[in-house]
């Protein structure tokens, strides 16, 4: 891994997570939705973005990447679980952003582990 993986504010995977969260949170502005969709996309989007920011600030927090993966899965399954598959734009947004969030979180795991090991060696 490169030195970028252990420096704060430097991991591209975490920046991707922040952008995905912001897009999810803002997407009700341009999508046909109902109250359930709005709350789901805003809450999960904000949580994804905040966790991405936390991972950027503290790259050795491995659990942050696992949280990101769980949030991505929750967003992905939300159209079925919450019953808003009739809103195709919102559903596709949840499926795509959810899947990309899982991929970004999984891609950041090795870098987070490396940064965590580096922090452990400093104690």
Report the pLDDT averaged over residues 87-115: 93
Question: How far is 14 from 9, CA to CA, in rounded Å?
Answer: 8
What pLDDT is recorded for position 1?
43
What SS3 state is found at 123? Answer: coil
The single-letter DSSP state of residue 3 is: G
Determine which helix (DSSP H) or strand (DSSP E) holds 14, and give its type and residue range. helix 12-26
The full set of domain ranges for the chain reads 3-121
User: Is the overall model pTM greater than 0.75, yes or no?
Assistant: yes
CB atoms within 10 A of CB 12: 13
Residue 105 and residue 68 in contact, taking contact as beta carbons nearer than 8 Å: yes
**Residue 114 — pLDDT band, cuts 50, 70, 90?**
confident
Q: What is the pLDDT of residues 9-45, one digit of tens each?
A: 888 999 999 999 999 999 999 998 999 999 999 999 9
Q: How many whole angstroms from its chain centre is CA 3?
A: 23
């Amino acid at each position: 891994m490169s030195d970028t993986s252990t420096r704060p504010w430097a991991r591209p995977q975490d920046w991707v997570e922040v952008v995905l969260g912001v897009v999810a949170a803002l997407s009700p502005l341009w999508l046909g939705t109902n109250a359930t969709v709005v709350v789901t996309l805003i809450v999960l989007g904000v949580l994804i973005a905040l966790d991405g920011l936390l991972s950027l600030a503290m790259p050795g927090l491995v659990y942050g990447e696992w949280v990101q993966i769980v949030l991505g899965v929750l967003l992905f399954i939300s159209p079925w679980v919450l019953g808003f598959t009739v809103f195709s734009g919102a559903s596709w947004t949840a499926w795509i952003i959810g899947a990309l969030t899982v991929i970004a979180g999984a891609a950041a795991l090795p870098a987070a582990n490396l940064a965590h090991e580096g922090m452990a060696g400093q104690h």
